[in-house]
Structure 1
Amino acid sequence: MTEHLVVDAARRLVAEHPPASTPTEEFLGARFDAGLAWVHFPRGLGGLGVAPGLQGAADAVVEAAGGPNPFDLNPMGYGMAAPTVLAHGSPALHERLLRPLYTCEEIWCQLFSEPGAGSDLAGLATRAVRDGDGWRATGQKVWTSKAHEARWALLLARTDPDVPKHKGLTYFVLDMRDPGVEVRPLRQLTGDAEFNEVWLRDARLDDAWRLGDVGAGWKVAMTTLMNERTAIGGGSIERGSGSIGDALALWRSQPDPGLRDRIVTLFARADALRLTGMRHAAERGDGPAGPMGSLGKLVGAELNQAVYELCVDLLGTAGTRHPGYDGDPATHDTLTWKFLRSRANTIEGGTAEVLRGILAERVLGLPGDIRVDKDTPWREVPRG
Structure 2
Amino acid sequence: MSSTIDEEFRTEVRDWLAEHLSGEWADYRGLGGPGREHEAHEQRLAWNRHLAEHGWTCVGWPVEHGGRGLSLSQQVVFHEEYALSRAPARVNHLGEELLGPTLLAYGTDEQKAQFLPRIKDVTELWCQGYSEPNAGSDLANVQTKARLDGDGTEQHWVIDGQKVWTSDAHQADWIFVLARTEPGSQRHRGLSFLLVPLDQDGVEVRPIEQLTGGSEFNEVFFTGARTAADLVVGAPGQGWAVAMALLGFERGVSTLAQQVGFERELDALVELARANGTFDDPVLRDRLAQAKVGLVVMKANVLRTLDDPAPGAESIAKLTWANWHRDLGELAMAIAGPDALTAGRPGAPDLDIWQRLFLFTRADTIYGGSDEIQRNILAERVLGLPKEPRG
TM-score, normalised via structure 2 length: 0.82
Partner in structure 2 of residue 323 of structure 1: 344
Of 107, 116, 119, the residue aligned with 2:134 is: 116
Alignment-derived partner of residue 20 in structure 1: 22
CA shift for structure 1 position 88: 1.8
- Counterparts of 1:1-384 in structure 2 under 5 Å? 2-4=5-7, 6-7=9-10, 10=13, 13-14=16-17, 18-21=20-23, 28-29=48-49, 31-32=51-52, 36-70=56-90, 73-132=91-150, 133-230=155-252, 233-236=255-258, 238=260, 241-256=263-278, 257-258=280-281, 259-283=284-308, 291-323=312-344, 331=351, 334-362=353-381, 364-370=382-388
Which secondary structure state, in structure 1, belongs to the residue aligned with residue 171 of structure 2? coil
Listed as ranges, the gaps of 5+ residues in structure 1 are 373-381
2 CA distance for matches of 1:191 and 1:31?
30
Tell me: CA distance 1:365–1:35, structure 2 relative to 1, closer, same or farther (3 Å): farther
Residue 132 of structure 2 aligns with an amino acid whose one-letter code is E
Does the Cα contact within 8 Å between 1:139 and 1:201 map onto a contact in 2?
Answer: yes
C-alpha distance 296-312 of structure 1, shift in aligned 2 (>3 A): same
> By how many angstroms is 1:29 displaced?
4.7
- In structure 2, stretches of 5+ residues that fail to align are 26-43
AA at the equivalent of 2:295: A
Q: Give distance in 2, aligned partners of 1:245 and 1:93.
A: 44
Report deviation, 1:173. Answer: 0.9
Alignment partners' CA distance in 2, 1:48 and 1:368: 45
The C-alpha deviation readout for 1:77-116, integer Å capped at 9, x for no partner, is 3332222222222233334323433454332211111112
Deviation of 1:37 after TM superposition, in Å, equals: 3.1
Shift of 1:335: 0.7
Aligned-partner residue type, residue 320 of structure 2: V
Change (3 A) 1:14 1:171: same
1:239, 1:229 → 2: CA distance? Answer: 16
Q: Give, in angstroms, the shift of residue 146 of structure 1.
A: 0.9
2: distance between equivalents of 1:51 and 1:180? 42
- Seen in structure 2, the aligned counterparts of structure 1 residues 97 and 273 have a Cα distance that, compared at 3 Å, is same
Distance 1:64 1:47 in 2: 22
CA spacing shift, 1:198–1:40, aligned 2, 3 Å: same
Percent identity over the alignment is 31
User: Does the 8 Å contact 1:226/1:293 carry over to 2?
Assistant: yes
Partner Cα distance (2:345, 2:172) in 1: 26
CA contact (8 A) 1:298 1:355 kept: yes
Q: Please give the secondary structure, in 2, of the residue aligned with 1:47.
A: coil
Matches of 2:104 and 2:298 in 1, distance apart? 28
Query: How far apart in 2 are the matches of 1:206 and 1:280?
Result: 38
1:39–1:54 Cα contact (<8 Å) kept: no
Question: Cα 1:125–1:99, aligned 2, differ >3 Å: closer, same or farther?
Answer: same
After the TM superposition, which of the residue ranges 338-347 and 99-108 deviates more from structure 2?
99-108
Counterpart residue number, 1:376: none
Q: Distance in 1 between matches of 2:52 and 2:314?
A: 24
Question: Do 1:80 and 1:228's aligned partners in 2 also have CA atoms closer than 8 Å?
Answer: yes
Q: CA deviation at 1:237?
A: 5.6
Q: Secondary structure at the match of 2:63?
A: coil
Q: CA RMSD in A?
A: 3.0
Q: CA deviation at 1:327?
A: 7.3
Q: Kindly state the Cα deviation for residue 225 of structure 1 after the two structures are TM-superposed.
A: 1.8
Contact 2:262 2:325 in 1 (8 A): no
1:243–1:308 CA contact under 8 A, matched in 2: no
